[in-house]
Amino acid sequence: MRNENIPEVHEALSPNLQCDVETVDLVAGEQFSPKYLEIHPQGKVPALTDRDFTLIESRVIAAYLCNKYGAAEETLYPSDPEKRAKVDMMLYVGEWILIEIGSYLNFRNVIFDGEKTRKENLPKVYEVLKQLDNYLQNTIFVAGPNITIADFFAISSLLCLDIVDFDEYGKFPKVFEWIKQMKQFPYFKECHNSGLFKQKKIYQDALRKTSK
Ligand SMILES: N[C@@H](CCC(=O)N[C@@H](CS)C(=O)NCC(=O)O)C(=O)O
């Protein structure tokens, strides 16, 4: 069913917007190639080049795309100062979510250095979920009644927990509802699942190898 709060991609961005996506294989270390380091000096993904304009930092890139190519109604990144500040705030909160979940998953060290999931950091993950549940008490989406770019970042950070089959969302009912809502998004699977499945396999294979 069509949800009025969820704009289709072609409504949210200019319908004629074309982009070339180049994959950077992080496991193979392509992020450190001299060519890529010219674009992103820290050797991280993502990066955007828009003709002769280069940008790094995923949240900044998303905001730029909305500013430059967004549709008139600007729902994904509203221009009203208060609404935008709320979105910006939740983008920062999303970064905090990713940091705490990252400390728990310990992704890089698991796949490259034979380390394990840092279970001692799980309480911080519960804290993240509790806070997010609080933010969602009175709103459908993380920054208000409409979906915004802050939802995309928060969900992609949170669902990194699928890598370890985290299934304790029942303790955080608002987060659970919001995830359900985000999964109905028509392009959720395309944007999310294939990358996540690859990451999960790499991570789980590495853990299995370590415990042998
Ligand atoms: N704050 C940055 C974080 C970028 C980042 O850490 N990207 C990770 C992937 S999610 C990366 O490129 N890791 C490669 C590496 O550390 O070698 C952003 O949002 O763009």
In this prediction the pTM is 0.89
**What pLDDT, on a 0 to 100 scale, did the predictor assign at position 56?**
97
Residue written as token pair 């009912």: 173
Ligand 1 center from residue 166 Cα (angstroms): 22
Per-residue pLDDT tens for 71-98? 766 789 999 999 999 999 999 999 999 9
Domains 9-69 and 81-211 share a fold: no
Whole-number Cα distances in Å, 134 to 88, 107, 175: 18, 27, 9
Q: Given pLDDT bands bounded at 50, 70 and 90, which one contains residue 42?
A: very high
Residue nearest to atom 10 of ligand 1 (CA): 45
- The matching CATH number, chosen from 3.40.50.720, 3.40.30.10, 1.20.1290.10, 1.10.3720.10, for 9-69 is 3.40.30.10
Task: Examine the pLDDT at 55 and tell me if it is beyond 50.
Answer: yes
CB 156 within 8 A of CB 58: no
Residue nearest to atom 14 of ligand 1 (CA): 44
Query: Residue ranges per domain, the chain?
Result: 9-69, 81-211
| C-alpha to C-alpha distance for 51 and 63, rounded to whole angstroms | 17
Per-residue pLDDT tens for 108-164? 999 999 999 999 999 999 999 999 999 999 999 999 999 999 999 999 999 999 999
Locate all alpha helices (DSSP H) within 106-164, ordered by sequence. 107-113, 122-135, 149-158
Ligand 1 center from residue 127 Cα (angstroms): 23
| C-alpha to C-alpha distance for 22 and 19, rounded to whole angstroms | 10
Ligand 1 atom at shortest distance from the alpha carbon of 108? 16
Domain 81-211 -> CATH class: mainly alpha
Measured from the CB, is residue 57 less than 6 Å from ligand 1? yes
**What pLDDT, on a 0 to 100 scale, did the predictor assign at position 63?**
94
